[in-house]
Amino acid sequence: MGQTITEKIFSDHIGRAVYAGEIVRCPIDMIIGNDITTPISIRAFRESGAKQLAKPDNFSIVMDHFIPAKDIASANQAKISREFAYEHNLKHFFDEKDMGIEHALLPEKGLVIAGDVIIGADSHTCTHGALGAFATGMGSTDLAFAMITGDNWFKIPEAIKVVFTGVPAPHIYGKDLILEVIRQIGVDGALYQTLEFVGDTIPHLGMADRFSLCNMAIEAGAKNGIIAGDEITKEFLADKNLRDEPKYFYSDDDAKYVKTIKIDVSKLEPVIAYPHLPENGKPMTTAVDDDIAVDQVFIGSCTNGRIEDLRIAAKILKGNKVARKTRLIITPATQKILLQANKEGLTEIFVEAGAVVSNPTCGACLGGYMGILADDEVCISTTNRNFVGRMGARSSKIYLANSAVAAISAIYGKITDPR
């Protein structure tokens, strides 16, 4: 019987053919923790009596949510991870000296690669499926189990095949594709299933679009999102100091899927997810007709904080000014991206337009700091969630969109079509 990519990755790790529905114990190639979730894992690790990590070089801690610390509580929480990293002489510990949002930083560092099994105590760990890896979020105690043993238990997920056809029109990006998928199937449409993205559109998507696509698989309830490796994947990995040799897997023609979804990308408009769920997708024309004024615009996060996103925004903002009653916050996903933006003159464009450029952080996305919304404020954001109170006050409203929509909306002070 044929296998999906996900089934093949698990089969390779376990040493026998496995299929959807089986419960298996599988070695982990990379465990990812952050400053919010890792302290809980560390406590469980210590309470177990464990003295050392099973695979120290396969464990990363990325300080990205409240770094630099926003208050005493976050400083003390960060201290727990720092002390653990120093105690175990962690090779892959990323703090202020080399900071970035974990799901942008680790691919940049070559620490997650095609064919991997990756877990992280962060729901958007599924981002790394863009590289042809199985990547999923788990709880902090699940992470601790993997820290102690080097492996974990999984139920092999069934798969949904998402077939994208056609060439994306200008200002249609990976963000629009995944928002359309979620609009069609809902936030629980792929519970504990794989979203496998295929079709003749894929070669037209760069890695930034692919990361965005897989990043939001969790917003449909999926266990993981995945895209088979191709020349674009190989080119992305080619200049990295890779942790290991990539392994490329491809689904068989007779692989079993629970359903197939087909989307003609050439007919898509930019998709705007209205409050308060990512499934509330509306076409751009509807959003324009609704004449939605915005108090804040945010461009960044593990979904859309890459250099490609900043280039898109800068092209639109160049020579323009942010609307008087609107704030624009831009957060590069890593320090390397920030340096590249400086080198290309993008940061200058942003500041001259009236934006504030922050350090890499998840802070604004989860309503932690660096962009909190006040009562009744409206934000258009390139982040991945627009739940009630997600970015601040419970009465605030968040609209999700791509980087081009966000940038042009900052200029006009209302949701605007970039085309």
| Statement: 272-412 belongs to CATH 3.30.499.10 | yes
Where residue 202 falls among pLDDT bands split at 50, 70, 90? very high
308-364 pLDDT, tens digit per residue, is 999 999 999 999 999 999 999 999 999 999 999 999 999 999 999 999 999 999 999
| Statement: 5-262 belongs to CATH 3.10.20.90 | no
Residue carrying structure tokens 């007779």: 254
| Cα separation, 360 vs 374, whole angstroms | 22
94-122 pLDDT, tens digit per residue, is 999 889 999 999 999 999 999 999 999 99
As to burial, measured by CB atoms within 10 angstroms (0-12 exposed, 13-18 middle, 19+ buried), residue 31 is buried
CB 45 within 8 A of CB 140: no
Half-sphere exposure of 306 (CA within 13 A, CB side): 24
> What's the token pair of residue 336?
């390397």
Burial 58-91 (b: 16+ CB within 10 A, else e): bbbbbbbbbbbbeeeebeebbebbeebbeebebe
Query: What is the per-residue pLDDT for 73?
Result: 94
Mean pLDDT of 65-88: 95
| Cα separation, 101 vs 237, whole angstroms | 18
Query: What is the per-residue pLDDT for 1?
Result: 86
Query: What is the per-residue pLDDT for 356?
Result: 97
| Cα separation, 245 vs 188, whole angstroms | 35
Pairing outcome for strands 23-27 and 151-155: antiparallel
How many other CB atoms are found less than 10 A from the CB of residue 238? 9
Query: What is the per-residue pLDDT for 325?
Result: 96
| 172 alpha-carbon distance from chain centroid | 18
As to burial, measured by CB atoms within 10 angstroms (0-12 exposed, 13-18 middle, 19+ buried), residue 110 is middle
Number of H helices, E strands in the chain: 14, 18
Residue spans per domain, the chain: 5-262, 272-412
Query: What is the per-residue pLDDT for 65?
Result: 95
Query: What is the per-residue pLDDT for 123?
Result: 94
| Cα separation, 212 vs 318, whole angstroms | 24
User: DSSP strand E in 156-314: where?
Assistant: 158-165, 193-198, 224-226, 259-264, 271-273, 281-283, 296-299
213-254 pLDDT, tens digit per residue, is 999 999 999 999 999 999 999 999 999 999 999 999 999 999
Evaluated on CA atoms 127, 128, 134, 140, the torsion sign reads negative
> What's the token pair of residue 299?
């461009």
| Cα separation, 374 vs 396, whole angstroms | 7
Q: What is the mean pLDDT of the chain?
A: 96
302-312 pLDDT, tens digit per residue, is 999 999 999 99
